[in-house]
Chains A and B, each alone.
Chain A
Amino acid sequence: MGEAIPIVEMRNIRKSFGGVQALRGVDLVLHHNEVLGLVGDNAAGKSTLMKILSGAYIPNEGEIFIEGKKAHIINPWDARRQGIEMVYQDLALANNLDVAANVFMGREAVSVKLGPISIMDEHHMGQETQRLLDRLKIDISSVRLKVESLSGGQRQAVAIARATAFNTKVTIMDEPTAALSVAAIGKVLDLVRELKAQGCSIIIISHRLEDIYQVSDRMMVLRHGRKVCDTPVAGDIDDFRERVVAYIIGARDDFAEGVSKQPNNEHEEVQDIVH
């Protein structure tokens, strides 16, 4: 990671819902052109952390820096203005509209504006969408197809394409491979690699460790609202999985009080880099 200033830095994020502490002071760093995997058991706080970054939740405590500048993100539009886009797990697409209409949903191109009435520039939107699909090597026969007629993998691709279409700095993907066929999962992972090759910075939440292993540069494990591991993705997949599962179930913890002093920890050097 050659860049000195990370594209996103979240410091000491805390969030509670009623009496439940969902996040207890989490730090997160995402570098330019990096793919960060975010894993953890159910209710570990992954989605909450990402919803804070994307503006869906407001943290009780903590700070967010975008490219070194302190950011105030209080709703999804704010986040979007700062270049942060989230691909939601339940696919935020309108099935009754075509591919181009979904890609441009909420930011339609306008050709003529007459007071409150803005006439859409359908031609421009169609062409731009086609160019976007071509650039990301997404295989959909026509941008005029309704989303409801697409396969699950194609829909996910449209959702991801849409999130990366407009000068996006950071794309967050919440379980992008959940509920997809094996072939479709492969295509979505190819799409993530393609995005990285084109310079995107990406955070992926996933239960599927093999997906994280395949596309991520680095990964973070959350457990009970705390970060327990932050390490580059390297080595053999079986070894990787075993290690990560140990963190997920709580058998290992790099950030527990006093743990970082232990000499036998193989990740200590990583922490030194991160902090």
Chain B
Amino acid sequence: MRPRRCIFFRRSCHIERFEDIKKALYTGASYVVIPYEKTFPKEEVRKGIDRFGRDRIIVEFNADIDKPDHAYESVRLLEELKDLGVAKFILKHVTVSPAMNRILENCPLPVIVRDSLVRNDIATILSMPNCCGIATNYYEGKNILKVKRSLRDQGIATICLESSVSFADMKTNEHGLIPVVVQDYRTLQVLMVAYMNEEAFNKTIETGRMTYWSRSRNELWVKGETSGHYQFVKELRIDCDNDTLLAKVHQLGAACHTGETSCFFTELCRKEFADFNPLTVLTEDYNVIMDRKVNPKEGSYTNYLFDKGIDKILKKCGEEATEITIAAKNPDAEELKYEIADYLFHLMVLMVECDVDWNDIVKELANRRKS
């Protein structure tokens, strides 16, 4: 099962500078789409590729022969763009024809066809050689998963949810049910536990929305159908005994019927322990620093830094970074740990001052790993 999320983003029809590409990719977009023009900023694109890596830029052409951005038939130009590090091409206003098929066949990179789908049949477009997808607004408000499943049945390799283990091979209880532990896909917080029967499992795979079997109502239960608090499947796993499912979901609103994020909000007992989860620790420290900024505390070093302002914070970050480099030359790792912790503290003060949080950083890192 393969969850996906990527953002194509078009800055404008006049990207002229590397700065424009930078700003666009800094939004978190996976790609920036640049329409081809006679004054195509090749050098700026090259700079963008040097900075952000290959395969982050898509070039769009117009298939309409009378338009100025009609240049996709020049194989030499396409090869040049490929060598530059362009990821894909987008071709708009395509008329399906044998001639177009030949052009696409010779295209050195995969092509996304942009089409309103009013005239053309999606299956025909997706079957064109070298066509890796279609960009369309035709499916607004429609169930795209269903469309993809139907296309797959026609032999087109669309990306659908598919289980590697069939329900028949899972161990259910005497009522034909299997428990499902549900986690938030970002925080991994356990949200709830529910049960699925075969119908609920198949419906979950088919629709991408978590569907359970309600043991109290004795009926199929699409989570969120009444409350709007849907759960969208990101990943499903099964345990070593094939008798419990683990679902990572994108939860809209609260998972619990009480309005709590998680159903596990009641503490039964607790023994003090130190939380060693890196992101939890960093996030909690960040929140304390944020709280100092909002509710200043007399004598607080953090407030001293905020009062002095950005220049002081930057100076401290610079000093702490230098101390790391000195400590790293020391064979005793303890000093290095201490200096890194000091640096991270000052870095978080800077992050709070500049309104950047750990989620932003983690997303950026995840985005780089993806691309």
The finding on whether chains A and B are genuine partners in a shared complex, rather than unrelated, reads no
